């Protein structure tokens, strides 16, 4: 059965077909979006949270499920965001759905816009407006205060 699935997967890739991976004993409907995201971005789910680890030039980095790089801000302290409204226009908060439960090392804090945002190891997490595609890291080191999460 595994050979058949692998053969079909390879055949689909050669023909340009896209489908979530299906494993022995699993129906196509059970293949999750996360499986597809991992396949497309070469990522692994970060422990208990909304981020994914992605291979980049400097090693593994933490990204959104879509592959957009996640950053921390050195001026944040005590589990609070110090990125004000004008800052959030450039460094959007990585918002967390209100009803989603955080699991360590993830937690939730309030952004200056009053919405819940994700924090990783107690540090609020942001994306960067100049990162246009998955894997871009244009914000790393900006102003000496912004850093890619590794």
**pLDDT by residue (tens digit) across 64-111?**
999 999 999 999 998 899 999 999 999 999 999 988 899 999 999 999
Q: What residues contact 11, with CB distance under 8 A and at least 6 apart? A: 17
Task: Give pLDDT, residue 49.
Answer: 66
**pLDDT by residue (tens digit) across 27-46?**
344 333 443 333 333 344 44
Checking if the pLDDT of 5 tops 80, the result is no
Among residues of the chain, what percentage have pLDDT more than 90? 53
Task: Give pLDDT, residue 79.
Answer: 87
Mean of the per-residue pLDDT values of the chain: 75
User: Which residue in the block uniquely carries the two structure tokens 């699993």?
Assistant: 26
Name the more confident of 42 and 147.
147
Neighbours of 4 (CB within 10 A): 9
Average pLDDT over residues 2-26: 34
Q: How far is CA 13 from CA 7, 20, 29, 32, 100, in A?
A: 10, 11, 19, 18, 35
Task: Give pLDDT, residue 41.
Answer: 36
Q: How far is CA 10 from CA 6, 15, 28, 31, 69, in A?
A: 6, 9, 16, 17, 29
Average pLDDT over residues 15-27: 35
């Amino acid at each position: 059965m595994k050979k058949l699935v692998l053969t079909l997967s390879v055949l689909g890739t050669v023909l340009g077909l896209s489908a979530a991976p299906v494993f022995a004993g699993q129906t196509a409907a059970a293949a999750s979006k996360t499986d597809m995201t991992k396949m497309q971005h070469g990522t692994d789910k970060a422990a208990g949270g909304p981020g994914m680890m992605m291979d980049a030039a400097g090693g593994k980095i933490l990204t959104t499920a879509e592959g957009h790089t996640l950053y921390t801000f050195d001026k944040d302290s005590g589990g609070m965001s110090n990125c004000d409204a004008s800052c959030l226009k450039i460094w959007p908060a990585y918002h967390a759905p209100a009803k989603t439960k955080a699991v360590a090392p993830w937690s939730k804090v309030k952004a200056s816009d009053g919405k819940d945002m994700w924090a990783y190891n107690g540090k609020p997490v942001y994306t960067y407006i100049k990162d246009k595609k998955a894997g871009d890291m244009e914000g790393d080191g900006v102003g000496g205060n912004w850093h890619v999460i590794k």
